[in-house]
Structure 1
């Protein structure tokens, strides 16, 4: 006798799919539910998952279970939020939710110089100065300093000069900085002491560290007061032989003795065991002087008015020797126990979790005190509610959670669901968020306004550009003849790559095509005909117009590549374009860029890497053409013009001149301009420098972006400032309102699921009967 096969739900479903076309029915049903928004925040494949659930049980059991489960689903689904990416325990807490795309490489203030890194370092470290949160134009105010630095000038003999002395007569400038007392570092094991006031964790062995997985595993922590020596120690670290500060070359030209100090440390480092602690306290630096516990002086060469802006940056923030020694112990670096991974500061926040591939967490520094919300600002700030917290102690937010979002669509959807408190606006979502009024102004759409979302806009003091590596034999040249030809090639490409078109297609017009390195709002930028780049543009009927492709093709032929074919080799010209890793969203941008070069019959090969690898290639000069950008550190043209100053080359000098451009005349003018006060004479020199750059075309000048950002109603005290990054301490969150809105926007409507289940059961009953008849007929036939 043949054993009757076990009758399972799989059999019924298989038969139903074959005979009753359940598969297309389920698909159409799920599409209808999603289209009607009957099932919100539920995966579109929910019904397929449900079918998989059926496969595991007998039909009779399922029918029984569904009949019991369906009322529970409907009732519970009416109140619960199913898609919350955060723990329920965080509900109602004073937490700011933010996102980042690129993992930071450096959090050590002596090395960090990227916008994705300063997002964190600016909340942790406190330089002497900062920008006023509300005042415009930008105004410098003390941060750890008790007052603005006192600046005095001296001649070659050290004799003090009048405050208004001309730069030509000034041999030295002396900045005297006094810091506030009562500032303390965050709790950290580097400061932990035993009962005899000996540092607990400064004589660790590899075995001691072996069991430690994260900094919080150290049982004890401590703190101490900030003193002037900590600022001096950090300035000395600019010359540390094992570190690569991007501003060392520039600062060595100014701070007395810094270049010689680097040589001293380099010689000393050779005599020490590898990776051992190099105690900078033992080696004096001529240009920095300690006056007392709260006062120090920095002595620089000549008159450099822009130096005071550098005192707002983390390069000049305090670093305690205890932290440097603690992280220098054997076995620390192998576990990422470094200042690059675990910064130690006096700021309002401290880094408590560092998982840069997923999440980074800042929490309130319990030792932070002494800063208050400003009690004055601009006239409109009172009307906009930006002075409601005047005089209150900072910070207002207890915790900031940064989640890594590589793709723009999930980031945008989570913002709309209330899981991010603010968002930039991608090209795909621009029309959903912004509408252009009849006057050409941007405004929030009615849909966004109904959700209480606000729009903030500002012109960024930034330049995004495509750089040519001037050390490359093709785009840079080596001999004078090759350099002249390469210049023509770069000029031709400058005409062909149409950034006006780029902004229209990919940025919804949020930006202006750059005519040079200096953005609007910075001295040296000119409007109208006086500001156009004559290499790439011409003035026609009162408007700027890009030159024609025919003119670009003529330049290309003069460069030795008529029709994109090398006159020397007879082969097509192939150029290589290095970019940071691109998502599928950006593939169309790369296709567009290839088309721009194809106008000249040039083949463009895109080479994509992650940001850290990209930085390494730029530092070593292994790129040919690359994309990059620069956000101003301070509101002065020198901050952009130094990016093309020869001694600032990336290769050999580790500076910020990523193109490795080096023009003797430009260098001479830069050295003359940088020490001058603002005025007409300085602008004339800047204009001459920009003209040289336009002729040499070491960059495709790219564009200056317009920044659009969205903020939820519960995100308060927001006033954009692209020059200051330490502004989170001023922000305020209303977690109760946020929870309320999240509940409104994300509570699922589940009754359609119940209807779908009932329909499925109704369909399965005849399938069950038909299947059993078929099986009985088969058994009888086989007997």
Structure 2
């Protein structure tokens, strides 16, 4: 075979053209993957929205699923915005009918459950997702919360399924929740619900799920979340590591926000990221590290891009006088310190024979224990100033919070605690230095806790407080997911945990004492008719001073009976590596991953 000069020249030209065409693709392939890495201090429980009640699992699901509404990432105070909805809802003047029109062309992530076809989310999916919470088979901890919204016909549908062996009838249409057409869902409520919009704005638990997915995976649904959100679950090593990747079929969404005019930090973020296609990162890797020291050291070593809530143990070194330490500032580390919309508390099981009950001597015991616990010592010593004493249940950054309010909940009074115990017969009858029950039996409080260092320091403060009044405290170490299950089942005497506000409304926290939420939000199983009346009353009231007074009165009842001792509101100091761009803590929203970027030019060079 002979090759001519003309043939060689032509081949050379074709190769050059092919190289030019391939060059952009080669460059794109060489672009480093943007990965967000950080750690949770507590293990997850799973990823089915209907079955969740813990913060860390809900962070995952909030980034996989979408609700009808969400929150503007930068707006302060918090502002609701449409997500799956096409605009804000039409709300009747009596706050009993909410009509939502949905956006067209939004699809669930690809999954075998859809048989190879793209699956659009519709109004019927919203109806199905809400019904799932009420299905007894879901064993949802969210039932009482949804029941309180008084969606017409929904509670009755659940009662029918609870009768005998009947299955929940998903195909039965109810007046209170209907798909008027493919893209319009309407809610009708039995009572006024001025804040129902907040219920529609929590993707972590109210995100849209597809019936085909639930039916395909059955009891394994906690392992197979399929949503319309920006991320998909890639790998799950239970209580160890969770990996999520960008949803390749995610719709075109672009960074948009309304930061407050006076918020310079938010304004700067918006100026930098406005108009960027979301999500900006490709992958999220979450480790579970319950001990604060390795979590902190991993961040310092650059293994993690951020640390949410700097462990209190390291506050004096990392943020002396609440300012970023010079050595960290030199590394380009950033920080944000804000009061959190949360409470840390201890509950007493009202069914427990030692600490429960409503008789005067039982109330006196709980109040004495509450008076003996120093929120100030916990905040100052164990938490290194990263908290403030809580005076009640209402959380900072919520609508009814009053920073000047004071109550016995925030009072530390050892003399009064001892006097109460003496008055009601809790004395040291055998001379061993510890008080006994009025009938002479041992008085031992059993408190379930974790082994992590930050828990140990808080528990040490509590034990010293109770030692000072002659009450013996036994600490029982366990794992958080198991403790949560046992708590819901009413098996614990005392347990401590935190609660974060999922909306700007103050009253959600009162579900901790509402009898309709036994075994769900109400872990203590407290029951008081007057409290329940006030709880129901505030739900139908518009925001304002009158409602604030009702909420405060309900809180006073809880303070008087003390089924829960609220200890502190945390102050969160989040720290970010110099290559993490755009992070700003939102008081309610959990779905921040899509709003942050990784500046790969600033990443440490691999040796």
- TM-score of the superposition, structure 2-length normalised? 0.90
Q: 1:181 to 1:383 in 2, by over 3 A?
A: closer
Q: 1:257 to 1:561 in 2, by over 3 A?
A: same
1:491 matches 2:387: no
What is the distance in 1 between the residues matched to 2:270 and 2:488?
A: 42
- 1:514-564 CA distance string (max 9 Å, x none): 111112332333333xx1114663xxxxxxxx32x2211011122320245
Q: Equivalent residue for 1:517?
A: 393
Q: 1:553 to 1:93 in 2, by over 3 A?
A: same
1:430 matches 2:315: yes
Matches within 5 A, 1:297-316: 297-314=186-203, 315-316=205-206
Matches within 5 A, 1:367-766: 367-374=249-256, 376-379=258-261, 380-381=264-265, 384-423=268-307, 424-436=309-321, 442-477=322-357, 483-528=359-404, 531-534=405-408, 537=411, 546-547=412-413, 549-563=414-428, 564-566=434-436, 568-579=438-449, 581-583=450-452, 586-650=455-519, 655-740=520-605, 743=606
Matches within 5 A, 1:169-208: 173-193=96-116
Matches within 5 A, 1:27-106: 92-106=32-46
Q: 1:520 to 1:241 in 2, by over 3 A?
A: closer
Q: 1:177 to 1:526 in 2, by over 3 A?
A: same
What is the distance in 2 between the residues matched to 1:584 and 1:730?
A: 32
What is the distance in 2 between the residues matched to 1:407 and 1:363?
A: 26
Q: Which runs of 5+ in 2 are unaligned?
A: 1-28, 429-433
Alignment match of 2:239 (pick from 339, 357, 362): 357
- TM-score of the superposition, structure 1-length normalised? 0.70
Q: Is the 8 A contact 1:464 1:703 kept in 2?
A: yes
Matches within 5 A, 1:68-147: 92-147=32-87
RMSD across aligned positions (CA): 2.1
- 1:76-125 CA distance string (max 9 Å, x none): xxxxxxxxxxxxx9993211111123322131111112111012100000
Aligned-partner SS, 2:287 = strand
Cα displacement (A) at 1:180 = 0.6
Q: Equivalent residue for 1:342?
A: 224
Q: Greater CA radius of gyration, 1 or 2?
A: 1
Aligned-partner SS, 2:138 = coil
1:264 matches 2:160: yes
Cα displacement (A) at 1:267 = 4.8
Cα displacement (A) at 1:370 = 3.0
1:255 matches 2:170: no
Q: 1:557 to 1:298 in 2, by over 3 A?
A: same
Q: Is the 8 A contact 1:381 1:387 kept in 2?
A: no
What is the distance in 2 between the residues matched to 1:281 and 1:112?
A: 21
Q: Is the 8 A contact 2:108 2:121 kept in 1?
A: yes
What is the distance in 1 between the residues matched to 2:416 and 2:31?
A: 62
Between 582-591 and 655-664, the greater mean CA deviation after superposition: 582-591
Aligned-partner SS, 1:670 = helix
Cα displacement (A) at 1:569 = 3.3
What is the distance in 2 between the residues matched to 1:508 and 1:632?
A: 23
Q: Equivalent residue for 1:68?
A: none
Q: Is the 8 A contact 1:565 1:571 kept in 2?
A: no
What is the distance in 1 between the residues matched to 2:548 and 2:237?
A: 46
Cα displacement (A) at 1:382 = 6.4
Cα displacement (A) at 1:725 = 0.5
Between 696-705 and 241-250, the greater mean CA deviation after superposition: 241-250
Cα displacement (A) at 1:383 = 5.2
What is the distance in 2 between the residues matched to 1:458 and 1:371?
A: 28
Q: Is the 8 A contact 1:101 1:404 kept in 2?
A: yes
What is the distance in 1 between the residues matched to 2:507 and 2:311?
A: 31
Q: Equivalent residue for 2:26?
A: none
Aligned-partner SS, 2:418 = helix
Q: Equivalent residue for 1:774?
A: none
Aligned-partner SS, 1:594 = helix
What is the distance in 2 between the residues matched to 1:375 and 1:617?
A: 42
Q: Between Structure 1 and Structure 2, how many residues are aligned?
A: 569
What is the distance in 2 between the residues matched to 1:296 and 1:656?
A: 28
Aligned-partner SS, 1:629 = strand
Between 407-416 and 234-243, the greater mean CA deviation after superposition: 407-416
